[in-house]
Amino acid sequence: MDALSAIKMMAGTQMSSPLGGTAAQSGIVPSIAPQELEKLNSDLGPQSATAAAPSDSFQNVLGKFVGEVNAKQAAASDDMAGLLSGKNVSLHQAMISMEEASVSFQMMVAVRNKLLESYQEMMRMQV
């Protein structure tokens, strides 16, 4: 459920104020017309649909990320092998692909470390 749907549900029910009367009557919570809510919902467009039903799970996102890092490592290895065997691979291209692989691997390690720290922090929480 997105935020606008929750607001629509709340706007349909009258909330009572502790001072007496309804919240909209007492001036604490301004009333929003349903037409304005529909306009806001249509302005958001596809963003609200993606927030309600994510297309990729966390596992798939991490799997794709590791796959991309692996592909960069393999490309760097192929470029280096091609350079050493005398194929038509420039030194510049081999160095660029090696640096791309190195930076992506460093980023993957940093993400792994942050995830591990987050997991350990959650395990230390008392319920």
The pLDDT score that the predictor gives to residue 41 is 64
User: Does residue 39 sit in the same domain as residue 63?
Assistant: no
Average pLDDT of the residues in 28-51 = 61
Share of the chain above pLDDT 90, in %: 48
User: Does residue 115 sit in the same domain as residue 67?
Assistant: yes
Average pLDDT of the residues in 73-91 = 93
DSSP letter string, the chain: --HHHHHHHHHHSPPBPTTSSBHHHHTSS----HHHHHHHHHHHTHHHHHHHS-SS-HHHHHHHHHHHHHHHHHHHHHHHHHHHHT-S--HHHHHHHHHHHHHHHHHHHHHHHHHHHHHHHHHH---
pTM: 0.54
Please tell me which residue, 22 or 106, carries the higher pLDDT value.
106
| pLDDT of 4 above 80 | no
State the residue range of the domain holding 33.
3-52
The pLDDT score that the predictor gives to residue 93 is 92
- What domain count does the chain have? 2
Q: Among 52, 68, 87, where does a domain finish?
A: 52
User: Does residue 64 sit in the same domain as residue 46?
Assistant: no
| pLDDT of 43 above 80 | no
Which two three-digit tokens encode residue 63?
A: 């799997």
User: Does residue 67 sit in the same domain as residue 46?
Assistant: no
The pLDDT score that the predictor gives to residue 66 is 94
The pLDDT score that the predictor gives to residue 13 is 45
User: Does residue 81 sit in the same domain as residue 114?
Assistant: yes
User: Does residue 48 sit in the same domain as residue 72?
Assistant: no
| pLDDT of 87 above 80 | yes
CA distances (Å), origin 50, targets 44, 45, 54, 105: 11, 10, 5, 29
| pLDDT of 114 above 90 | yes
